[in-house]
Structure formats: C-alpha cells, structure tokens
Amino acid sequence: MKIIDAYLFRAILSGSALALLVLGLLDWVFGFLTQMNHAGVGFGRSLLLSIYTEPRRLYELFPSAVLIGSLLSLGNLAANSELIAMRAAGVSIGGVIRAVLRAGVLMMLFAIAFGEWLVPAGERLAQSMLLQAKAGSSVATQGQNVWAKDGNEYIHISRVIGKQLLNGITIYAVKSDNRLHSITHATTASYRNDRWVLKQVVITRFANGKITLERPQQIVQAQLVNPDLFGFLNTRPEDMSAMELFQYMSYLRANNLDDSRYALAFWQRLATPLSALVMLILAVPFAFGSLRTGGGGQRLFVGVILGVGFYFGNQLITRVGLIYGVPPFFSAFVPLLLVGLLSLAILARIR
C-alpha cells in the first residue's frame, strides 16, 4: 500500500505543478502585456512589474491549478486502468482519497508559505517601483512607513489609511545650514479643501539654544503629501501577511475605521490553501466516473471549465459580498463550502 500511496502522491504533485506552471506562464504573458499598455514605465520596468506581481496571481490561481492537474493525473491513471487495478488490489476509494489528500496537505503548506512571504514581498517591490516612477526620489516607503521630502522639510508617516487620511505624522524642518529647526508631530492628518489638517499637534522648536513646546489642537498645512500618490502609498491587503492583516484589522477596529477589505483578505488567506484539499476531493469522483473512458482532451476541458469557474465564481462572490456588506468570513468561505458539498454529493454516488 505504501508503494501505491507514493505513486498517487507523485502523480498528484507532478500534475498540479505542471498545471500551475502552464497557467502561470500564460498569466504572466497577459500580465506583462497589460503592464506595457497601461503602466507607462517602459519595457524594463513593465517586465519587472509583471514578475513582481505574478506571485499574487499564482496564489489566486493555485486552487484551479490543483483541480486541473489532479483531474489530468487521476484521469490518466483511470484511462490506463491503473485505478481499477488499485481497487482490485484492495485499495478503496477512501484509500485513494487519503493518499491524494496527503499530497494536498503538502501543497497546502506550500501555498501558506507562498502567500505569507513571497506574495507580500513581490507586491511591495511592485508598489515601490510604481511610486518611484511617479514621484521620483521625493517619496520612499518601508513597509507601512512613508518618508517624503518637501523643500527643507522631511516628513515621516506611520500609516496611510484609506483615502487621504494619515496617522502618526512627524515633520522635521531644517535650516539652510542643515541644522534642525523644529519637529512637528501630529496624531492624524486629513486632506480637506486642498489643505492638510493636522490634529493633536505637538511642535518642538530649537532656537537660540532653547527648546520650546507648543500644543495647538490642530494646524493647517498647504503641502504634506501629494494626494495623487495615495494609490501607491495606501496600505493594501496584498502587501501584507496574514499576521500583519490581523494586526491591522485590530488597529482599524480600535479606531472605529472600516476593516472589511482587510478582513476579507485575511479570511481569503486562510481559505485559499484549504481550497487545494477541496479541489482534490472534487477530482476523485470524476476520475472514477465519466472521465475514466475519456481522452486527455476531455479531461483537460472539464478541468479548465471547473477550475476557471471556481476562480471567477470566487472572485464574484467576494466582490459582491464586499459591496453589499456580507461578513468577510462568509464571503471567503462560501465558495469553498459550495464546492465541498458538491464534491461530497458526487462522491457519495460512486460505489
């Protein structure tokens, strides 16, 4: 039995890896062409942007790739009567499922690591490159921190929240001889009527060998950060790991701010790896059923239809849920639950 389990394990892994590679290459080509048409940053940067953002798209395609790859692998085994031979040797359908799910657990762990480290790193590199192309060297980012230069002022922003709202602003003003003139710290800053309104302000001034403190409730500043850059500076769910998403959600809730986008991204990070297991369970009944006598083209067609259907259905449900205020947990897990129930229903009909 161990030999059969290992054989199924290798078949599922190789089929899924091949499907992910093919889907990834196709997606990368279209992503590169899109960057060339819309980014306006030249061939070299478009190439790098498409490479940096490809991990996120691969992560989103992962469940569909597992389904297509497992359908091809198991369908090929069924067409060659290898699954029938396994059953004749005493391997039940449950035994096949257990062997398949062992490969699924390994792929799930791979997806978790991929989504936690590679996806956020790639998205941050892409955003940093776009920001550099838009703002040059006057603005730089490091994680959620933003540094900007405006004349003789150096500005540090701890968080960019939503649209035109900043948190934790510190402005260092220097004289022409590069000596520190003042430090202005504000808890929040909002952009209103073409002006920045800073609240809960503490100003520290250095003059004539003395240090003075001022605590105005708010001050108005004409320039701080160009609002046109908010699309690049805003903290995006794609740039964050699951732990960072959870911490950011807690921060937003503590400040009575909307966290729905980040909550949805957090639950999707948990749902996507689990989707690989559900896709594998869905592939098993097809291998024992209608695809057993079909050719490779039929198996590929069914796999693509189901995989693409799951991908777009998942995207549709999550977007609609976000618009109509459906709890993010349900939006993230409803597609997974529906496919899981469908898999069990089809599996129950196989004897």
Neighbours of 128 (CB within 10 A): 16
Same-domain check for residues 296 and 228: no
Look at residues 298, 238, 292 and name the one whose alpha carbon lies nearest to residue 76: 292
Amino acid at 8: L
Q: Residue 150: which pLDDT band, with cuts at 50, 70 and 90?
A: confident
How confident is the model at residue 290, as a pLDDT?
Answer: 54
The conformational region for residue 154 under phi > 0 = left, psi -120 to 50 = alpha, else beta, is beta
Based on the structure, what is the number of domains in the chain?
A: 2
Instruction: Report the largest interatomic distance among the alpha carbons of the chain, rounded to a whole angstrom.
Output: 94
Tell me which of 24-28, 66-70, 137-141 is least confident. Answer: 137-141
User: Which pair of tokens denotes residue 331?
Assistant: 């939006």
- The residue from 219, 234, 249 where one domain ends is 234
Kindly report the pTM of this predicted structure: 0.81
Q: What angle do CA 173, 186, 236 make, to 5 degrees?
A: 105
pLDDT-derived band at 2 (thresholds 50, 70, 90) equals confident
Distance separating alpha carbons of residues 332 and 328, to the nearest angstrom: 6
Q: Which whole-number Å values give the CA distances from 15 to 196, 197, 300, in the listed order? A: 55, 57, 12
- Domain presence at residue 139: no
Give the number of C-alpha atoms closer than 13 A to the C-alpha of residue 299, restricted to the C-beta side.
28
What pLDDT is recorded for position 16?
93
Give the whole-angstrom CA distance, residue 286 versus residue 350.
Answer: 10
- Structural domain that includes position 294: 2-134+239-348
Helix 2-38 / helix 93-113 crossing angle, nearest 10 deg: 40
**Closest of 23, 77, 16 to residue 294, by C-alpha:** 77
pLDDT for the residue 282:
84
Q: Residue 189: left if φ>0, alpha if ψ -120 to 50, beta else—which one?
A: beta
Mean pLDDT of the chain, nearest integer: 85
Same domain, 227 and 293: no
Q: Based on the domain organization, do 228 and 291 belong to the same domain?
A: no
In degrees and rounded to multiples of 5, residue 131 shows phi and psi of -65, -40
In a domain, 12, yes or no: yes
- Domain boundary pick from 218, 234, 250: 234
pLDDT at 9: 92
| 51 inside domain | yes
Q: Is residue 15 located within the same domain as residue 101? A: yes
| Amino acid at residue number 115 | G
Residue 140 forms part of a structural domain = no
Instruction: Write down the pLDDT at residue 19.
Output: 93
Contact 35, 57 (CB under 8 A): no
Sequence-separated (6 or more) residues with CB below 8 Å from residue 235: 144, 159, 160, 161, 248
Q: Is residue 174 part of a domain?
A: yes
The pLDDT of residue 145 is above 90 = no
Beta strands of the chain (E only): which ranges? 139-142, 145-150, 153-160, 165-174, 180-192, 195-207, 210-214, 218-221
The residue with greater pLDDT, 119 or 233, is 119
Same domain? For 218 and 243 the reply is no
Q: Are strands 145-150 and 165-174 parallel, antiparallel or unpaired?
A: unpaired
Entry field: residues in the chain = 351
Evaluate if residue 38 carries a pLDDT over 70: no
- Residues 224 and 260 grouped into a single domain: no
